[in-house]
Amino acid sequence: MKENSKMNGLFVPLITPFYQGDFDVASMKKLVGILQNSVDGVIPCLSSGEGGKLSDLEWQKIVETVCKTTTKPVFAGILRDTEQKCLALIKKSNWLPCEGIVIPTLYDYEEKNLKFVKRACNLSKKSIIVYNTEKHPFRSVEVIMKIDKFPNIVAVKDSSMDMIFLKKLLTLKRRGKLRLSIFQGMEHLLLPSQGCDGYILSLLNTESKLCATVFKKTNTQNNKKMHKVFWEQNLGGNWYTTLKGILYERGIIRSAEEIRPPIKP
């Protein structure tokens, strides 16, 4: 029987502030400084950070900036549309001061995703969170059990929205048969996710206290509060734009501008 992973709590997938077309270092430092005492870890350059639109140099600068700004664990998000591009950033991350990385599921077929995860593990010297995306999710408990055997995989961020699948994983975790941690990545599914190890939620950028309240006491009343904010802040739509607008109105970042369209090869 495997020991349970100790990785838990609230990890914020940071938005990426830009100002007049460039990464806004000062705004990122201010945002991280405000959030630092409310979260257990930070994840720059994931989907909430528009990671797929960043150049490799911007990605590196953002990760290095966040690592210098916080004492909390930093997991660098790696979002690229091909395995080759992902592996290139994974290799580069080995020389950065982050504790770990977050890698996405890329393929429609689970076996291809499994092979990619294995290649990433062999290449990386870091702890790894697997981002089980909405578009290409793992749905097989058997495959997750195989991933669980890879020593540097520490967690799964589940955004599959497949609650039957997630509850099977939580049951295995509860029985001590799953080592890795399970994080819910969707704000509107927290109530049926009771027992998960933590949250990786975009809403932590703007409502860290509410997210902490729901995590500590997941009940119907708090869930209603979460759902209300979910719709108010457009988390089912172009969420990172809304979050940037809110942070701009609060005076935390200098601009609500989006990053330019994705970099073409």
Look at residue 258 and tell me if it is in a domain: no
How sure is the predictor about 255, in pLDDT bands with cuts at 50, 70 and 90?
A: very high
Look at residue 155 and tell me if it is in a domain: yes
Look at residue 93 and tell me if it is in a domain: yes
Look at residue 254 and tell me if it is in a domain: no
Please report the pLDDT score of residue 5 as a whole number.
47
Angstrom distance (rounded) from CA 210 to CA 7 = 21
Q: What is the CATH number of the domain that holds 62?
A: 3.20.20.70
Residue range(s) defining the domain that contains residue 229: 9-249
Number of domains in the chain: 1
Look at residue 119 and tell me if it is in a domain: yes
Look at residue 262 and tell me if it is in a domain: no
Look at residue 102 and tell me if it is in a domain: yes
How sure is the predictor about 6, in pLDDT bands with cuts at 50, 70 and 90?
A: confident
Look at residue 56 and tell me if it is in a domain: yes
Q: Tens of pLDDT along 21-61?
A: 999 999 999 999 999 999 999 999 999 999 999 999 999 99
Angstrom distance (rounded) from CA 103 to CA 123 = 12
How sure is the predictor about 190, in pLDDT bands with cuts at 50, 70 and 90?
A: very high
Residues 6+ apart with CB under 8 A from 16: 23, 28, 44, 45, 49, 50, 51, 54, 62, 259
